[in-house]
């Protein structure tokens, strides 16, 4: 692990964009024990993520999330892409 001073020194040399977001943790169903990670980005974009045991696993999207679009296989929503191209 590096300290803050070393991080800031390395960051100044970086060609990547800073990604600013706030992360919230949300448990929709206490019985299945899956936690949603909800990232609110500085530009207003929201990404909700859940880790599942396998691809065929059945789960419910909480209605309070509103309409969603699945971006699982869309590279534009990875941290690596967003840090290079902006959020």
Q: pLDDT tens for residues 13-43? A: 888 888 899 999 988 777 767 889 999 999 9
Domain count, the chain: 1
Q: What is the pLDDT of residue 24?
A: 95
Q: Assess whether pLDDT exceeds 80 at residue 8.
A: yes
Residue at 1 is within a domain: no
Residue at 41 is within a domain: yes
Q: Assess whether pLDDT exceeds 80 at residue 52.
A: yes
Residue at 5 is within a domain: no
Residue at 66 is within a domain: yes
Q: What domain range includes position 47?
A: 17-85
Residue at 9 is within a domain: no
Task: Write down the pTM of the prediction.
Answer: 0.73
Residue at 50 is within a domain: yes
End-to-end CA distance of the chain: give it in Å, rounded: 26
Q: What is the pLDDT of residue 51?
A: 85
Distances (CA, A) of 8 to 15, 18, 62: 13, 12, 38
């Amino acid at each position: 692990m590096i300290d803050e001073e070393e991080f800031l020194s390395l960051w100044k040399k970086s060609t990547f964009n800073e990604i600013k977001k706030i992360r919230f943790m949300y448990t929709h169903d206490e019985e299945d024990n899956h936690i949603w990670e909800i990232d609110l980005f500085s530009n207003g974009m929201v990404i909700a993520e859940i880790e599942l045991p396998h691809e065929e696993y059945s789960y419910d999207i909480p209605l309070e999330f509103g309409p969603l679009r699945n971006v699982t296989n869309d590279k534009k929503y990875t941290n690596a892409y967003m840090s290079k191209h902006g959020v």
